[in-house]
Amino acid sequence: MNSFGTLFRLTSYGESHGAAIGGVIDGMPAGIEVDMDFIQSELARRKPGQSALTTARKEEDEVELLSGIFEGKTTGMPIGFLVRNTNQHSQDYENMRNVFRPSHADFTYEQKYGIRDYRGGGRSSARETISRVVAGAFAKLALRGLDINIKAYTQQVGDIILPGTYLDYDLDVAEQNAVRCPDETVAAKMAQLIMKVKEEGDTIGGVIACVIKGCPVGLGEPIYDKLQAKLGASMLSINAVKGFEYGLGFAGWHHNQNKQ
């Protein structure tokens, strides 16, 4: 499926080397002022080519709103949008036509659908997250009036870990460096490690932390639609994400062991 959400629902479409990436947002409340500068700034945070640490692909990632907006405000109707791909180099993947990349979706997609789009990652490319960023920006606009604040930052890269908890840092500092870490010293070490691994022709994983403040009591439903279950499903659908923690997460076991 290519849709996520119930009351606020995103359906995304597009491939990394197609004409565009886009989506349709259902359930956006009417009368919300559309802050295009904010939406575009959210896209700028994820666009490729913004530093030596990211992919070399260059894209402006300018969003075009197709429906659901009138006189600068949401109408309550579905919001259609797209971000055009302008710097795709499909020919660069010609040598992959008959080669399956390890730890990628190439083999799985061909086995499932009988058709393989070897140009980049196709639908499994992380470029699909553009749709999530646009929908997330609209969601943040709706949440502004409810005093709900959401911030994310890089907590770990390889074996370099940001000490303490989010309470020890000004999370706005994370926007001041390419690694998105709220400590400049730790961010510099993370960047150095990423560049070292990149020069060796390899990649390295990490951990992203997200803090939600002002969240009302009672979100979610019992058993299968618990809030953490929904959050886990959303996060684990992002390319290359292999684990999800909620609260103490995996550290909860060690915490309980120490109390005994």
User: What residue type is 190 in one-letter code?
Assistant: M
The pLDDT of residue 128 is 92
* Per-chain mean pLDDT for the chain: 88
Closest alpha carbon to 74 in 129, 41, 36: 36
Q: Does domain 1-146 have CATH number 3.60.150.10?
A: yes
* CA R_g for the chain: 20
| Burial (0-12, 13-18, 19+ Cβ within 10 Å), 190 | buried
Quick: pLDDT tens for 189-237.
999 999 999 999 998 999 999 999 999 999 889 989 999 999 999 999 9
Number of C-alpha atoms within 13 angstroms, CB side, residue 209? 21
Whole-angstrom Cα distance, residue 2 to residue 11?
A: 6
189: region left, alpha or beta (phi > 0 left; psi from -120 to 50 alpha): alpha
Per-residue pLDDT for 259 more than 90?
no
The pLDDT of residue 103 is 77
Where residue 90 falls among pLDDT bands split at 50, 70, 90?
Answer: low
pTM, two decimal places:
0.86
DSSP alpha helix (H) spans, the chain: 36-46, 106-113, 129-143, 184-199, 227-236, 251-259
Whole-angstrom Cα distance, residue 189 to residue 173?
A: 16
Where residue 117 falls among pLDDT bands split at 50, 70, 90?
Answer: confident
As a three-state string, the secondary structure of 104-144 is: CCHHHHHHHHCCCCCCCCHHHCHHHHHHHHHHHHHHHHHHH
Domain residue limits, the chain: 1-146
Quick: pLDDT tens for 41-82.
999 988 876 667 766 666 778 999 999 999 999 999 999 999
**Residue 235 per-residue DSSP state:** H
Where residue 106 falls among pLDDT bands split at 50, 70, 90?
Answer: confident
